[in-house]
Homo-oligomer: A and B are copies of this chain.
Amino acid sequence: MTATKIAIMGVGKIARDQHIPAIAADPRFELAATVSRSGGLDGVENFATLSELIAARPDIPAVSLCMPPSVRYEAAAEAIAAGKQTMLEKPPGATVAEVLDLARMAEEAGVTLFATWHSRHAEGVAAAKAWLADKTITALRIDWKEDVRKWHPGQDWIWEPGNLGVFDPGINALSILTEIVQVPLHLTGAELSFPENRAAPIAADLTFAGPGFIAEAAFDWRQEGGEIWQIAVETTAGTLRLIEGGARLFLDDSEQTVHGRGEYPDLYHRFGDLIEGGARDVDATPLIHVADAFLLGRRLVVEPFNE
């Protein structure tokens, strides 16, 4: 089997921390080039623009787009139009309409488009989904709290409109929620807390209605002393808890043994499967819930945030 040559566009923190090691460890992929205006990696050919990559390296059939979501659409559209198998970091776009449009374009072009939600690939998620499949949910609670200074050091772009603010981590929780809970949910209330000097929320409290239960979520970027990334699901057959972002699973306080490749290795494994099968995986639901939170949410102004 020949490894699929892949290019990464957007060589920032997430690419260096996650994508590049995951590609290096996957025998089905070979990192063949990067696209970055600010420089790439030692020993890997770099292009300033995607257009230059497409023109110069027709031997590279796949691209993984890791830049901020506000500039992802144009690159994704260009990659799809060039027939590239395309993987998108989360969130898959700056708007819901963009994502639906890209899905349609990929289908028409017959190329693989994988709009990834890395948290869905945490080790405990598949087991949680399987356990919940025949249970009756009575309540659900998400706490997703981390320190923005730790996780987004110096990333001022994250506060600009279109980059989601605290929903950037919060959408990870929503991506797990919409994976493990296979009944439809819709937002019924939201409070979004904006620092008075920022254009994006630093905290959000959401309430969703599901059939027969309420789901509540608290997102906060002001957490200090260690992150809390957990989802607790009460059912008539006991309580399920995912902690550490979905990596560990508990049923009624008894930790379950779970297995997995790890989030990003599993993402690339799935991308490889989608390419081999000529398939696509584009689920806009987590982003729809976030857009709904902005649409429906009441805004609170809180103290300024300075890094």
* A residues adjacent to B (C-beta < 8 A): 73, 93-98, 100-101, 104, 161-162, 164, 184-187, 190, 199, 285, 288-292, 294-299
Contacts and interface: CB of A to CB of B under 8 A. Distances in A.
Contacts of A94: 295-296
17 contacts: A73-B186, A95-B186, A95-B187, A95-B292, A95-B295, A95-B296, A96-B295, A97-B186, A97-B292, A100-B184, A100-B288, A101-B186, A104-B184, A161-B190, A161-B295, A164-B295, A291-B291
Contacts of A93: 186
Nearest to A94: B296
A185 B162 CA distance: 17
A162 B191 CA distance: 12
A187 B164 CA distance: 15
Copies of this protein, total: 2
A100 B285 CA distance: 10
A295 B294 contact: yes
Contact of A187 (B97, B285, B298): B97
A287 B211 CA distance: 23
Closest 6 CB pairs of A and B: A95-B292, A291-B291, A294-B294, A97-B186, A291-B295, A101-B184
A96 B185 CA distance: 11
Contacts of A162: 295-296
A161 B298 contact: yes
A187 to B, nearest CB: 5
Given A95-B186, A96-B96, A101-B186, A291 B289 contact: no
A245 to B, nearest CB: 23
A295 B204 CA distance: 14
A127 to B, nearest CB: 26
Contacts of A288: 96-97, 100, 291
Contacts of A100: 184, 288
Contacts of A98: 186
Nearest to A192: B161
